[in-house]
A and B are shown apart, each in its own frame.
Chain A
Amino acid sequence: MTNHYIDLKNSDVILIMGSNAAEHHPLAFKWIMRAKDAGARVIHVDPRYTRTSARCDYHVPIRSGTDIAFLGGMIKYIIEGNKFFRDYVVNYTNASFLVNPDFSFEDGLFSGYDAQKRSYNKETWTFQKDGNGIPLKDPTLKHPQCVFQLLKQHYSRYTLDKVSSITGVSKENLLKVYEEYSATGAPDKAGTECYALGWTHHTSGSQNIRTMSIIQLLLGNMGIAGGGINALRGEPNVQGSTDHCILYGNLPGYLKMPTASLATLEQYLTKNTPTSSDPQSANYYQNYPNFFVSWLKSLYGDAATPENGFGYSWLPKLEDGKHYSQLHLFDRMYEGAIKGLFAYGTDPAVSSPNTKKTRKALEKLDWLVCANIFDNETASFWFGPGVDPKQVKTEVFLLPAAATMEKEGSQSNSGRWVQWKYKAVTPPGDAISCGDIQIRMMDAIKALYAKEGGPSAEPILNLKWNYKDIDGNMDVLKVSKQINGYWEADVEVTENGAKKIMNKGGLVPTFGMLRSDGTTSCGNWIMSGSFGADGENKMARRGKEDPTGLGLYPNWSFVWPVNRRIIYNRASCDINGKPYNPKRNILEWKDGKWVGDVPDGPWPPMADKEKGKYPFIMKVDGVASLFGPAMAEGPFPEHYEPLEGPLAKNPLSSQLINPTIELFSSDLDQVANASDKFPYVCTTYSCTEHWCSGALTRWQAWLLEMQPELYVEISEELARELEIANGSKVKVSSARGEAACIAMVTKRFKPFTIEGRTVHQVGLPFNYGWLYPEDGSDSTNFLTPTVGDANTFCPEYKAFMVNVTRR
């Protein structure tokens, strides 16, 4: 979230699209209802009428997988209707930048497409620059090659008729949403967007979010109270686990994982440290070397020295252009290339797409180590349905883990609030925390390498691993302080004009002080400042002061970065630092300093040509990107059909599917587009009463009582057609597998009219597995395809094709 949960109360219009907030983030709805009570409009755009829709002002049904078309139409409406916030767009976005004259878009493809590689050469996706290397701009936004004009041209094709025909949304409903939402382009109005897996679980996931980001920028809704783009993330510490990057492509703090072509630390830092010639761009990532070297020091401790490049050579290097996501991981495992798997607190045998392939892949492992609080379908795959244990070679460990209230530590919510939690009781029986498991297991591995040696033993032996207390248990404060960062030498710094010695072994007070010479160590730069230099654990703070009255609660917990509650907050003010909306003043430049929330950097506002900086300090040009060349599919989002959909042709271009998605090709990766055998659009989701694969919640009788087994929601119209009665047993099938379930016939799904014909959509929750309850149901993911977003590889769980039959 760019903002945070409580801030939702500050909004004038809340668009919930790609989320079922009332069901999956029920406490977000506390604040949404607070806004509604204060007069806000709340709009739900979703394939299905849900508990969220019931509490919104209105619900607009949309065919799954067509969000870009819907939002593209809104961009056209905003630009052509002159509804955008001109001052904001001109000053705070790259709307005025002139794009490379060779850049083009034709029939669904941008310039530079390589069909063989299914990817783009992006050399034309650049800006024209002056002699000093500063992008050329036209603040009047009239130059035909400026971003604004190209954007206008791109979305001119998204007419109401076209969008309605693709999405199945009536023109009347489109206009209703466009009009109400674009009214937040007024400087004193705030519009926010709540999304969740409904947007990320698509082959166009990242671009769904980017399309909305463009809208938010056009309307001046980024960086303000009650605005922003708000990902309501789905797991208790998914923000923290992402921040610490248990991910193939990133290292803690979103630092880049090195690739094979970057042989030396110097090459790596040059590649990843952006440079800007514009003196008004803060280009904060110019500090990248400080963050990265300090991280290496946290990894290898004293073994990381300037002489050995701080151990850079020991790091694993990814193959350039190759990906290692969960989709790839199971694909490789199915091929037999992966021999050992750790699966902590996760149940991919239920939650990964294409369950048949996932479970077959598990059978090819030599060993599997699971750590959970309950048994699950992954740990017990070897006696699952249709599996003969006598044929399965895999050695399996199921380690009993502590539940959350049985351990002390911090957890980061979606609004980046890092809250401290306490250990109430010891875990039952032999159970220990995952942290203790990892510490003791690594101790054993280190001991073996110390004794026997082996290839590349150095990174293992040199891993800094002194995080135990005197009893031999994980010392959580030792870990969190290393994450915050230490001085590794006595260092003289200048603070507020005065010189000061920071002593070796002291806590680094903020990432602004991290250094690239090995004199600081920091496990995750964005978390630096979570401790005070005096040792105060800011994550444990419980102060309830709210000086702005806008729910920032600056003394409750710690929020990264540097306790900034709303990121990009300098953009809430005009170029002189005066709030655009004085009623919701989160930040103001007053008497030579910023007052309010922690600003995005201390510099004066950008009207000060000498010292002032642009507001989007993490962007190399200092402004937000309407033109976004980092995306795999192109700088402007474009509608493509899902891998499996009801249409044989994309109504907007000759490119049926996203031209840059990776296609998997094992024998179990069957696809059936526009097929009579699988005529219904299907989507999957969770329910309030269960969580994710249900691996925690199915074992809980109170929750299971309320949602006992798998069901498919189908419209009354389709049920009539198929002679299916409410509550009867049915089977849903796709080109990859099937799911037995109960039919829930409902008025909450309605048939769509797409390209002139009736298209039905159905939906199932994904919370069930065979292990428990015994007489329950199995995974919905037998139906879903192994395919993902071209940028993130988030799987497509939300749009594919099925059939429904009685059983």
Chain B
Amino acid sequence: MKKTEYIKLIDTTKCTACRGCQVACKQWNEMPAMRTRNFGSYQNPPDLQWNTWTLIRFQEHVDKNGDFKWLFRKDGCMHCTEAACIKVCPSGALYHTEYGTVGINQKLCIGCKACISACPFDIPRFNQQTEKIYKCDLCYDRLKDGQQPACALSCPTGAITVGEREAMIDKAYGRLDQLEGKGIVYGDKFVGGTHVMYILSEDPAVYDKLPVKPRIPASVILWKNLFKPFTLIGMGAVAGMAALHYLIKGPHEVHENKEGDE
């Protein structure tokens, strides 16, 4: 039975980068930390990791008026409606939940990494020890109980809120009015609409690692239509994945994070 679709709205104009969300996510999901070094930024870990599903990106930016801005963007799974990762997942580990979000069932994951190659937002991460994929599931367990996801509960300033799809889209555009046009709504116009949306203060092109026009790679559509029905039966999974990987991204290097001591 299809239930209410939820959207998480991330209002970057309210975010103070306190990183309560980044830690609350780890606390709730019982994810360990890694030993990092300071590389000249507040941002750490430097990127999403198998154990870091939500990350505040810090970026210094001078806008076209010459005004300095320090941009904070909470990065993580966008929970696409037309989700490339689900389309390529051969095992059914990635799936759409009744809330429209992208769930992950690790028991089914075979570690093929197809989703990594397919994701237009570069979100899923592979853990070499467990040989499985990890990413945000928008606290599916909490949503089932009518609870806010851990990140949203933790957010001090209301920069992260979650609610029914239509209400949140209205809220996003309502906020634009409040900002007197100095903002952009991101997320409702592509891949069938994402279940994570942003209010951005700058043009999307300004932000690190945020695609301006995200879309499912054509090759994924090809893959899905031609090969996926046969994947695990018709050909060796590994060979199949390699073919897919090459098809989508060419010889793309998959994120393989070194694990630290913690």
Residues of chain A touching chain B, judged by Cβ–Cβ distance below 8 Å, are: 22-23, 26-27, 29-30, 33, 37, 49, 51-55, 687-689, 701-711, 726-728, 742-748, 773
Q: Which residues of chain B come closer than 8 Å to A55, judged between CB atoms?
A: 14-16, 157
Q: Which residues of chain B come closer than 8 Å to A687, judged between CB atoms?
A: 42
| Beta-carbon contact of A688 and B35 below 8 Å | no
| Beta-carbon contact of A744 and B70 below 8 Å | no
Closest to A700 in B: B33
Cβ distance A577 to chain B, nearest Cβ, rounded Å: 37
Cβ distance A704 to chain B, nearest Cβ, rounded Å: 7
Closest to B72 in A: A54
Cβ distance A127 to chain B, nearest Cβ, rounded Å: 46
Closest 3 CB pairs of A and B: A727-B40, A701-B33, A726-B40
Among A33, A37, A705, point to the contact of B33 (Cβ < 8 A): A705
* B16, B22, B32, B42 pick with most chain A CB within 10 angstroms: B16
| Beta-carbon contact of B37 and A708 below 8 Å | yes
Among A22, A29, A49, A702, point to the contact of B23 (Cβ < 8 A): A702
Cβ distance B106 to chain A, nearest Cβ, rounded Å: 21
Cβ distance B75 to chain A, nearest Cβ, rounded Å: 14
Complex Cα distance, B35 from A773, in Å, reads 9
| Beta-carbon contact of B262 and A23 below 8 Å | no
Among B32, B34, B38, point to the contact of A709 (Cβ < 8 A): B38
Residue B211 CB within 8 A of the other chain: no
State whether A742 and B62 are in contact (beta carbons under 8 Å apart), knowing that A29-B16, A53-B70 are contacts in the complex: no
| Beta-carbon contact of A744 and B40 below 8 Å | yes
Complex Cα distance, B40 from A747, in Å, reads 12
| Beta-carbon contact of B33 and A26 below 8 Å | no
Residue B256 CB within 8 A of the other chain: no
Residue B41 CB within 8 A of the other chain: yes
Q: Which residues of chain B come closer than 8 Å to A748, judged between CB atoms?
A: 60, 68, 70
Q: Which residues of chain B come closer than 8 Å to A689, judged between CB atoms?
A: 19
Among A688, A711, A728, point to the contact of B18 (Cβ < 8 A): A688
Cβ distance A214 to chain B, nearest Cβ, rounded Å: 31
| Beta-carbon contact of B68 and A702 below 8 Å | no
Closest to B17 in A: A51
Complex Cα distance, B233 from A743, in Å, reads 54
User: Per DSSP, are chain B's interface residues mostly helix, strand or loop, or mixed?
Assistant: loop
* 17 A-B pairs in the complex with CB atoms less than 8 angstroms apart: A27-B156, A29-B156, A30-B156, A33-B158, A49-B70, A51-B18, A53-B70, A55-B16, A702-B23, A703-B23, A705-B35, A706-B22, A709-B38, A727-B40, A727-B41, A728-B40, A745-B40
Residue B209 CB within 8 A of the other chain: no
Closest to B45 in A: A705
Complex Cα distance, B44 from A237, in Å, reads 30
* A709, A726, A747 pick with most chain B CB within 10 angstroms: A747
Q: Which residues of chain B come closer than 8 Å to A23, judged between CB atoms?
A: 16, 18
Complex Cα distance, B3 from A19, in Å, reads 46
Closest to A37 in B: B178
Cβ distance A5 to chain B, nearest Cβ, rounded Å: 11
| Beta-carbon contact of B68 and A29 below 8 Å | no
Residue B105 CB within 8 A of the other chain: no
Complex Cα distance, B158 from A688, in Å, reads 18
Q: Which residues of chain B come closer than 8 Å to A33, judged between CB atoms?
A: 14, 157-158
Residue B20 CB within 8 A of the other chain: yes
Complex Cα distance, B33 from A703, in Å, reads 8
B window 15-72: CB within 8 A of A? 15-20, 22-23, 26-27, 32-42, 44-45, 60, 62, 68-70, 72
B window 147-190: CB within 8 A of A? 156-158, 178
| Beta-carbon contact of B38 and A708 below 8 Å | yes
Among A22, A708, A728, point to the contact of B36 (Cβ < 8 A): A708
Among B39, B44, B62, point to the contact of A706 (Cβ < 8 A): B44
Q: Which residues of chain A come closer than 8 Å to B68, judged between CB atoms?
A: 49, 747-748
* B35, B44, B60, B70 pick with most chain A CB within 10 angstroms: B70
Q: Which residues of chain A come closer than 8 Å to B22, judged between CB atoms?
A: 706
Closest to A773 in B: B35
| Beta-carbon contact of A744 and B14 below 8 Å | no
Q: Which residues of chain B come closer than 8 Å to A53, judged between CB atoms?
A: 70
Complex Cα distance, B154 from A27, in Å, reads 10
| Beta-carbon contact of A743 and B157 below 8 Å | no
B window 177-231: CB within 8 A of A? 178
| Beta-carbon contact of A54 and B262 below 8 Å | no
Cβ distance B65 to chain A, nearest Cβ, rounded Å: 13
| Beta-carbon contact of A51 and B70 below 8 Å | yes
Cβ distance B138 to chain A, nearest Cβ, rounded Å: 20
| Beta-carbon contact of A30 and B157 below 8 Å | yes
Q: Which residues of chain B come closer than 8 Å to A707, judged between CB atoms?
A: 38, 42, 44
